[in-house]
Amino acid sequence: MERSERPGGSGGEAPEAAAEWALHASNRLLRALTEVQTEFIQNRVVRGVFDKLLTVLLELTGSEYGFIGEAAATADGAPYLRTRAITNIAWTDELRALYDREAPRGFVGVEFRNLHNLFGAVLVTGQMVMTNAADKDPRRGGLPPGHPPLRAFLGLPFHSATELVGMVGLANRPGGYDADVVAFLQPVLTTCCAILLGLRSEARREQAEAEQRRSAESFRALIEGSPEAIFVHREGRLLFTNSAAVRLLGHADSASLERRPLTDFVQPEDAELLGESSKDEGPREVRFRHRLDLRVLGEVSTVSLVFDGQPALVSTARDITGRRQEQEQLRATERMVSLGTLAAGVAHEINNPLSYLLSNLRFVDEELTSMRETGEGLAGERGREVREALQEALAGSHRVRDIVRDLKTFSRDGEDQLAQVDVRGVLDSCVNMAWSEIRHRARLEKDYGEVPLLEANASRLGQIFLNLLVNAAHAIAHGNRDGNSIHVSTRHEEGLVVVAIRDSGVGIPEEHLSKLFSPFFTTKPVGEGTGLGLSICHNLIMTMGGRITVDSHVGKGTTFRVFLPVKRPSGIAR
C-alpha cells in the first residue's frame, strides 16, 4: 500500500517512507486480526470484536466512516443488511437518538432494507463496488438528510463456499480507493467471514439445543398429561412413568417405579410383550401387577424412540379392565340367554333318562322285595331281569351326569383357565346341549378330522360352537328331519384348527351378511333373539387370535367356519 493510504498522508513521501508505512500497516492489521480471532475463539463474544476491526480499518485506510455488516434475507428472500459495527451516524436528531440508543450494545443488529444505493449494489449483486466519484455514480441513490458528502466509496463482499455472508463498507478515503487497498483488506474479509460463519454455526447449535430442550419438555408434558399410562423403558428397566401409569399400578409416585425391572410390574409371561415394538402387530393385551394385587389388564402399544439421547421403548397402556369385565358380564348374559333357550329341551333330555332310571329302580325294589319273601335267589330268570334293570338305571344316570357336566362346562366363567382342549370333545358336548333343538329338525352329520389340541378356554369354545349349532337348528323348520342336515367337521391346515358348521336351512340374505357380527343385529323375530350371540362369538374368536367366516345362499343354507391358531399368538392375553 502506498503512503497515501496513511491517514493524513499526502501521497508524496519517499519510497522508503511509503514502504515503512506499508510494513507498519500490515503489522498493525495482523495484530488486530490476531487479537479479534483470539478473543472470539476464547470467549465466543461478538460485542467489541467487529468494532475493533472497524476502528483499525478506518485508521489504516484513512477512511472517514464505514461499517461491517452481515447479509440477511426476509422470509420471502429479499436481502437486507444487518450491522455488526458502524461509525457514528448521528447526522440528524433522529439518527442521533438511534445511535445513542444502540451504541451501548455495540450497535449490532440495526437493519438497512433500502438497497437502492452503493452498499445495496454490493448485497444485490454480490460483487465489489468501488467508486472515487460517488456523487456522480448512478448507483448512489439519495443520501439521508444531514448525511456528510459522499466522495468515495468501497464496498467489499465476503462469501462462504455457497453464499454471500456479509460486506465491509468504507467511505471518503483521501485520494480514493484502488486495487492496493482492496488487496490489503483481503485478510480482513476472510476474518469477518470466518467469525460470522462461526456465529451462525453457534446460533444453529444453540437453536438446535433449545429446540431439543423444548421438544424434551413438550414430550414430558405431553406424556405426563396423557390419560393413557405411559412407560419409558430400556433393556427391561423403567426410565420414566407418567401419572396415569403410577395410578394404573397403584403406587404413590413415579420415583418408586424408576430403574426397577419391568417384571416387577408385569406378569412374567407378558413382560416380553413390552420388550419389542408392536407397530406391525397392533395393540397387545398385557396383565399388569397392581401393588394391591388387583387384576389390571392393559391394551398396550410399544414403539421405539430416542429418550434422553439414547434408544428406548415407549409403551402406552390403556386400562381395559373395566371394559373386559363388562364384556365378561355380557358374555355371561348371553350364555344365560342361550341356556334359557335350551332349558325346556335340556329338561326333557334329563327327564327321559331320569324317568326310566326311577322306573327301573322301582322295578328292582319290588322284585327284590318279592324275591326275599319267597326266598328266591338272583341266579334265576327274575335275577337276570333285576340285573338288566340295574344296568339300564346305571346308563340313565350316566346320561344325566353327562348332561349336567356339559351344562357346567358351558356355564363356567373362567377367563384365565386355559388348558389343552380337544375341540371335538367340546363339539360333542355342545351337540348334547343342543340336541333337543336339532333332533326334530335335521339329521346330524359329523366329519371329525384329526386336529391338535388348542391352548384355550373350554367354556369360551363351548359358547361359540353352541351358539352356531343352535342358530343352524333354528334356520331349519320342524317337520322334515330326513330332508335336512346339520354337518359338523374339523380339520387341521397350516397351523390352524378349522371347525365348520353347515346347515341346509333358509340361508341369509346377502344384504345382511356384512351386519351379521354387529351387536344387536338379528334376523330372528322380536322376542326370539338378543342380537348379541354372533357378535360375542366374533369377539371371542378374535381374542383367541382367530377369525370366523360365513358363506350363505338363500334357500340353500349357511356355513360358518371358525379358524383358530394352534399356537397362541403373541400379544393375546392369556
In degrees and rounded to multiples of 5, residue 28 shows phi and psi of -65, -45
Band (pLDDT 50/70/90 cuts) for residue 144 is: low
Mean pLDDT of the chain: 79
Instruction: Please give the pLDDT value at position 2.
Output: 41
Q: Which domain holds residue 131?
A: 20-204
Same domain, 534 and 425: yes
Do β-strands 443-448 and 485-493 pair in parallel, antiparallel, or remain unpaired?
A: parallel
Instruction: Please give the pLDDT value at position 99.
Output: 60
Is 226 in contact with 244 (CB distance < 8 Å)? Answer: yes
Q: Which of 250-264, 340-354, 493-507 has the lowest mean pLDDT?
A: 340-354
* Global pTM value: 0.45
Q: How many domains does the chain have?
A: 3
Is 457 in contact with 415 (CB distance < 8 Å)? Answer: yes
Distances (CA, A) of 547 to 172, 217, 260, 464: 89, 44, 38, 12
Kindly state whether residue 61 falls inside one of the protein's structural domains: yes
Same domain, 128 and 172: yes
**Residue after which a domain boundary falls, among 204, 237, 259:** 204
Kindly state whether residue 526 falls inside one of the protein's structural domains: yes
DSSP of 261-299, one letter per residue?
A: BGGGTB-GGGGGGGSS--TTT--EEEEEE-TT--EEEEE
Q: What is the pLDDT of residues 508-534, one digit of tens each?
A: 888 888 777 776 556 655 445 444 467
Positive/negative CA dihedral, 273, 277, 278, 280: negative
CATH code where residue 474 lies: 3.30.565.10
Kindly state whether residue 335 falls inside one of the protein's structural domains: no
Same domain, 78 and 185: yes
Average pLDDT over residues 9-27: 65
Task: Report helix, strand or coil for 113.
Answer: coil
Kindly state whether residue 438 falls inside one of the protein's structural domains: yes
Kindly state whether residue 259 falls inside one of the protein's structural domains: yes
Same domain, 166 and 237: no
- What whole-number distance in Å separates Cα of residue 271 and Cα of residue 261? 10
Band (pLDDT 50/70/90 cuts) for residue 202 is: confident
CATH code where residue 104 lies: 3.30.450.40
Is 168 in contact with 119 (CB distance < 8 Å)? Answer: no
Same domain, 31 and 169: yes
Same domain, 105 and 195: yes
Kindly state whether residue 172 falls inside one of the protein's structural domains: yes
Same domain, 197 and 263: no
Kindly state whether residue 66 falls inside one of the protein's structural domains: yes
**Residue after which a domain boundary falls, among 272, 297, 324:** 324
Same domain, 25 and 126: yes
- What whole-number distance in Å separates Cα of residue 299 and Cα of residue 296? 10
DSSP of 401-461, one letter per residue?
A: HHHHHHHHHHH---TT--EEE-HHHHHHHHHHHHHHHHTTT-EEEEEE-----EEE-HHHH
Q: Is the pLDDT at 90 greater than 60, yes or no?
A: no
CB contact set of 469 (below 8 Å; sequence gap of 6+) = 430, 431, 434, 437, 438, 486, 488, 501
Same domain, 200 and 232: no
Same domain, 117 and 200: yes
Same domain, 90 and 236: no
Q: Is the pLDDT at 279 greater than 80, yes or no?
A: no
Band (pLDDT 50/70/90 cuts) for residue 537 is: confident
Same domain, 49 and 125: yes
Kindly state whether residue 127 falls inside one of the protein's structural domains: yes
**Angle subtended at Cα 570 by Cα 569 and Cα 574, rounded to the nearest 5 degrees:** 85
Q: What is the pLDDT of residues 286-341, one digit of tens each?
A: 888 888 888 888 888 888 888 777 888 888 888 877 777 766 666 666 655 555 55
Is 328 in contact with 334 (CB distance < 8 Å)? Answer: no
Average pLDDT over residues 223-251: 85
Band (pLDDT 50/70/90 cuts) for residue 208 is: confident
CATH code where residue 298 lies: 3.30.450.20
Q: Is the pLDDT at 259 greater than 80, yes or no?
A: yes
Q: Is the pLDDT at 8 greater than 50, yes or no?
A: no
% the chain with pLDDT above 90: 19
**Residue after which a domain boundary falls, among 305, 324, 343:** 324
Instruction: Please give the pLDDT value at position 350.
Output: 65
